Chains A and B, each alone.
Chain A
Amino acid sequence: MKRIVALLVLISLCIPVTGCWNSRELTDISIVVGMGIDSVPHSDDYSVSFQVVNAGALSTQGGSQGGQGALPIVTYSSQDSSLFGALRKASRKVPRRLFFGHIQLVVIGEEAAKKGIGDMFDFFERSHEVRLSSTVLISRGITAEEVISTVTPLEKTPSIGIAKKSRITSQVWAENADTNVKQIINDLVGAGEPIIGGVKIIGDPKIASMEKNIKNSQPPSFVLIDGISLMKNGKLTGWLENHKARGVMWIRNEMKGTVMNLPCEEPGNSETVVVLRSKTKVKPSLQGGKPKFVIHIKEEGVLGETSCSDDLSDRKAMMRIQDKWAAQIKKEISATVKAAQQAESDVLGFGSSLQKSYPKQWKQMENNWPHIFSESEYEIQIESYIRRAGMRGTSFKRQMKKEAE
Chain B
Amino acid sequence: MNKTSSAERISTDLELNLNRLKTAFGPSSDLIFKRISFQGIQAAAVYMDGLIDRQIVHDLLFDSIATLPDDHPNESLIQQLMAQDLSIINVQSLTDLGQVISAVLSGDTVLFLEHYEEALSYETCGGEVRAVTEPSSQIVIRGPKEGFNETLSTNVSLVRRRIRNPDLWLETMKIGSVTHTEVAMMYLNGTAKQEVIGEVRRRLQNINYESILESGYIENLIEEQTYTPFPTMYNTERPDTVAAHILEGRIAVFVNGTPFVLIAPTTFFMFFQSAEDFYHRTDVSSGIRFLRYISLFISMFGPSIYIASITFHQEMIPTPLLLSLASQRESVPFPALVEALIMEVSFEILREAGIRMPRAIGQAVSIVGALVLGQAAVQAGIVSSAMVIVVALTGISSFTTPSFNAALSIRLLRFVVMFCSAFLGFFGIAMFSILLTAHMCGLRSFGEPYLSPLAPLQADELKETFIRRAFKRFKPALLRSSSRKPN
Contact = CB atoms under 8 A, between A and B. Distances in A.
Interface of A: 15-16, 18, 20-27, 29, 31, 33, 53, 55-66, 99, 101-102, 104, 129, 131, 156-157, 160
Contact of B312 (A23, A64, A102, A131): A23
A63 B330 CA distance: 9
B317 to A, nearest CB: 9
Given A15-B420, A15-B428, A56-B330, 18 more contacts: A15-B423, A24-B312, A24-B314, A25-B335, A26-B326, A26-B336, A31-B323, A31-B326, A55-B323, A57-B327, A58-B326, A59-B331, A60-B327, A64-B331, A65-B331, A102-B319, A102-B322, A160-B320
B90 to A, nearest CB: 52
Contacts of A157: 323
A60 B319 CA distance: 17
Contacts of A65: 330-331
A16 B330 contact: no
B323 A66 contact: no
B36 interface: no
20 contacts: A15-B423, A21-B312, A21-B425, A23-B311, A23-B423, A25-B310, A26-B310, A26-B326, A31-B326, A55-B327, A61-B328, A61-B331, A61-B378, A61-B385, A63-B331, A63-B379, A63-B381, A64-B331, A102-B319, A131-B315
A33 B319 contact: yes
Contacts of A160: 319-320
Of the candidates A16, A24, A56, A102, the one having the most CB atoms from chain B within 10 angstroms of its own CB is A102
B422 interface: yes
B315 A16 contact: no
B170 interface: no
Return the 3 tightest CB-CB contacts between A and B, nearest first: A101-B315, A63-B381, A55-B326
Contacts of A53: 323, 326
A16 B423 contact: yes
Contacts of B379: 61-63
A64 B330 contact: yes
Interface in B27-83: none
Given A15-B428, A66-B330, A26 B325 contact: yes
A25 B420 contact: no
Contacts of B424: 15, 18, 20-21
Contacts of B420: 15
Contacts of B88: none
Contacts of B378: 61
Contacts of B289: none
B439 to A, nearest CB: 13
Contacts, number: 96
**Interface of chain A, helix or strand or loop or mixed?**
loop
B292 interface: no
Nearest to B385: A61
Contacts of A56: 327, 330-331
B414 interface: no
Nearest to B312: A23
B459 interface: no
Nearest to B316: A101
A16 B336 CA distance: 16
Nearest to B324: A58
Interface of B: 310-312, 314-315, 319-320, 322-332, 335-336, 378-381, 385, 420, 422-425, 427-428
Count chain A CB atoms within 10 A of each CB in B330, B331, B424 and give the residue with the most.
Answer: B330
A64 B329 CA distance: 9
Contacts of B381: 63-64
A318 B427 CA distance: 63
A64 B380 CA distance: 10
B226 to A, nearest CB: 13
Contacts of B423: 15-16, 18, 20-21, 23
A229 to B, nearest CB: 26
Which of B311, B324, B420, B428 counts the most A-chain CB atoms under 10 A from its CB?
B311
B312 A59 contact: no
A27 B427 CA distance: 22
B322 A31 contact: yes
A57 B380 CA distance: 18
A60 B384 CA distance: 11
Given A62-B379, A104-B319, A160-B319, A22 B327 contact: no
A316 B80 CA distance: 120
B329 to A, nearest CB: 5
Interface centre among A15, A22, A61 (most CB of B within 10 A): A61
A55 B424 CA distance: 25
B331 A129 contact: no
Contacts of A31: 314, 322-323, 326
A15 B431 CA distance: 11
Contact of A55 (B311, B330, B422): B330
A343 to B, nearest CB: 36
A131 B315 CA distance: 9
A59 B314 contact: no
A100 to B, nearest CB: 9
A164 B337 CA distance: 35
A227 to B, nearest CB: 27
Contacts of A129: 315
Given A15-B420, A18-B423, A25-B311, A63 B326 contact: no
Contacts of B335: 25
Given A55-B323, A63-B379, A99 B425 contact: no
Contacts of B422: 20, 23
Contacts of A57: 327
B328 A59 contact: yes
A63 to B, nearest CB: 4
Contacts of A29: 314
Nearest to B427: A21
A22 B312 contact: yes
A15 B419 CA distance: 10
Contacts of B319: 33, 102, 104, 160
A318 B323 CA distance: 51
A355 B363 CA distance: 76
Contacts of A26: 310-311, 314, 325-326, 329, 336
A29 B311 CA distance: 10
Contact of B330 (A20, A24, A27, A99): A27
B322 A23 contact: no
A58 B324 CA distance: 7
A162 B331 CA distance: 29
A185 to B, nearest CB: 20
A159 B423 CA distance: 33
A157 B324 CA distance: 12
A191 B381 CA distance: 56
A64 B327 contact: yes
Contacts of B315: 101-102, 129, 131
Nearest to A59: B327
A55 B328 CA distance: 8
A99 B314 contact: yes
Nearest to B384: A61
A316 B463 CA distance: 63
Q: In the complex, which of the residues B327, B378, B385, B420 has the most CB atoms of chain A within 10 Å of its own CB atom?
A: B327
A179 to B, nearest CB: 19
B431 to A, nearest CB: 9
Contacts of A25: 310-311, 329, 335-336
Contacts of A66: 330
Nearest to A63: B381
A16 B428 CA distance: 11
A22 B381 CA distance: 26
Given A21-B312, A26-B314, A65-B330, A58 B323 contact: yes
Contact of A63 (B314, B380, B425, B427): B380
